[in-house]
């Protein structure tokens, strides 16, 4: 004789089967196996691998175990109890809604809580293999060349593995995942085991916090993701020219290793060191206005004027010293100071300090 393990996962129209219910049922199965007792699960869609209790022959079962969840006198429970009225009925890990001195249909009741008793939930005893928690951070469609290919590749990857997916939207003008600040976005990303992304800042915020990322550059914006990761030494980046399903599978395995987390942290530290120079350049520009002028001279405008007067020498060595930094590709044209001032003014910037210096020459 067998035991039938049932619960709210056995009622497709009840609509309240939870992860806890299924974990408790699997634990009951383990306990029955330990004592050598054969059993079946009573499962309704969408769950598979069990039987429909409505068509089960009660004579095939000596014991019926109803496990986990609230239990009360209702149409569903009355139908179930009546079908197996000849079997020994065990209630396990249940919350008994009605006082047990008024209604208790079980031969043996080991409740989670009732009017008579409270016990810890048996799910505390379950041993569940944990799966990776993976953030999915995708840029909205914007017409990039490899956009659809990137989305399709990611879809195939997530469907091929068991993982807990967390959708993460980095936009804050409108956010599809309910995040309201950059702190909320970064905090969520920082807690992922890994991130799969087609966004630049999905990549940056992941690596910044030591979280390995599979980054796929859709090809828009001049391959900015590929350029960024190449600059800081992160190799799990793909484009239309090097992506395959096998490479993504290998990257996924790698990103779950300690070596990958260590590498992500190394890339983050390297990026921070290099990014400090941005801060230094910015502050220097304010501390030294003349340098701010030089860095803002239009590259194309100066290049064109340089080409026109190539190989000529300047008579104003001070002007040459001020401008050589913003024309790194060659010598400053040999022009008088009025021409040079006109050239600089045409870039749209204020060169008051430089004019004052020229006036003193």
Can you say whether residue 266 is alpha, beta or left, with left for phi > 0 and alpha for psi between -120 and 50 degrees? alpha
What pLDDT shows up at residue 291? 59
Torsion, Cα of 211, 213, 217, 222 (10° steps): 30
C-alpha distances in Å from residue 199, one per residue of 151, 195, 205, 206 = 12, 11, 10, 11
| Residue position matching structure tokens 């008994």 | 96
Q: Whole-model pTM?
A: 0.74
Lowest mean pLDDT among 70-84, 106-120, 170-184, 337-351: 337-351
What pLDDT shows up at residue 15? 64
Per-residue confidence band for 289, with pLDDT thresholds at 50, 70 and 90: low
Per-residue confidence band for 83, with pLDDT thresholds at 50, 70 and 90: very high
Higher-confidence residue of 65 and 305: namely 65
Q: Tell me what percent of the residues of the chain surpass a pLDDT of 70.
A: 80
Average pLDDT over residues 252-264: 98
Please list the alpha-helical segments (H only) found in 233-298: 245-255, 258-287, 289-296
Average pLDDT over residues 214-239: 94
What pLDDT shows up at residue 170? 96
**Average pLDDT value for the chain:** 84
pLDDT at 315 exceeding the cut of 70: no
What pLDDT shows up at residue 285? 84
Burial status of residue 141 (CB atoms within 10 A of its CB: 0-12, 13-18, 19 or more):
exposed
Antiparallel, parallel or unpaired: β 133-137 and 164-167:
parallel
Residues 6+ apart with CB under 8 A from 237: 203, 215, 216, 217, 225, 226, 229, 230
Per-residue confidence band for 13, with pLDDT thresholds at 50, 70 and 90: confident
C-alpha distances in Å from residue 307, one per residue of 93, 285, 323, 326, 338 = 85, 27, 15, 14, 18
Per-residue confidence band for 292, with pLDDT thresholds at 50, 70 and 90: low
- Token duo for residue 119: 């016990």
Per-residue confidence band for 221, with pLDDT thresholds at 50, 70 and 90: confident
Average pLDDT over residues 278-296: 72
Average pLDDT over residues 323-336: 37
Distance CA 301, CA 58 (A): 90
What pLDDT shows up at residue 287? 78
Lowest mean pLDDT among 51-65, 148-162, 257-271, 281-295: 281-295
- Token duo for residue 282: 């910015």
What pLDDT shows up at residue 329? 31
Higher-confidence residue of 106 and 143: namely 106
Angle between helices 352-359 and 337-345 (to 10 degrees): 170
- Token duo for residue 138: 């995708």
Higher-confidence residue of 27 and 351: namely 27
What pLDDT shows up at residue 290? 66
pLDDT at 321 exceeding the cut of 50: no
Average pLDDT over residues 253-259: 98
Distance CA 198, CA 138 (A): 5
Average pLDDT over residues 194-205: 97
Lowest mean pLDDT among 115-119, 133-137, 140-144, 208-212: 140-144
Torsion, Cα of 293, 296, 297, 299 (10° steps): 160
Torsion, Cα of 284, 287, 293, 296 (10° steps): 40
Per-residue confidence band for 282, with pLDDT thresholds at 50, 70 and 90: confident
């Amino acid at each position: 004789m067998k035991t039938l393990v049932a619960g709210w996962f056995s009622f497709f129209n009840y609509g309240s089967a939870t992860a806890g219910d299924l974990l408790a049922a699997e634990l009951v199965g383990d306990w029955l196996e330990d004592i050598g007792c054969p059993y079946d699960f009573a499962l309704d869609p969408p769950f598979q691998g069990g039987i429909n209790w409505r068509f089960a022959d009660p004579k095939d079962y000596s014991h019926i175990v109803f496990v986990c969840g609230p239990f009360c006198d209702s149409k569903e429970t009355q139908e179930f109890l009546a079908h197996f009225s000849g079997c020994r009925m065990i209630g396990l890990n249940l919350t008994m809604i009605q006082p047990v001195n008024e209604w208790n249909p079980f031969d043996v009741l080991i409740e989670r809580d009732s009017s008579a008793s409270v016990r810890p939930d048996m799910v505390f005893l379950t041993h569940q293999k944990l799966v990776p928690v993976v953030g999915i951070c995708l840029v909205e469609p914007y017409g990039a060349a490899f956009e659809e290919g990137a989305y399709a590749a990611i879809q195939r990857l997530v469907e091929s593995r068991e993982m807990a997916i967390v959708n993460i939207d980095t936009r804050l003008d409108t956010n599809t995942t309910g995040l309201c600040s950059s702190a909320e976005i970064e905090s969520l990303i920082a807690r992922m085991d890994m991130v799969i992304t087609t966004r630049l800042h999905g990549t940056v915020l992941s690596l910044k916090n030591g979280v390995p990322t599979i980054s796929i550059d859709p090809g828009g914006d001049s391959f900015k993701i590929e350029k960024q990761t190449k600059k800081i030494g992160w190799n799990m980046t793909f484009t239309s020219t090097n992506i395959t399903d096998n490479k993504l599978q290998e990257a996924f395995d790698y990103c779950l290793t300690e070596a990958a987390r260590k590498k992500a942290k190394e890339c983050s530290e390297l990026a921070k060191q290099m990014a400090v120079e941005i801060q230094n350049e910015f502050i220097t520009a304010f501390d030294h206005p003349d340098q701010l002028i030089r860095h803002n001279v239009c590259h194309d405008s100066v290049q064109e004027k340089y080409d026109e007067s190539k190989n000529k020498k300047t008579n104003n060595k001070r002007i040459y010293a001020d401008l050589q930094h913003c024309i790194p590709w060659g010598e400053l044209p040999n022009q008088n100071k009025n021409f040079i001032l006109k050239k600089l003014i045409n870039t749209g910037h204020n060169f008051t300090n430089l004019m004052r210096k020229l006036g003193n020459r």
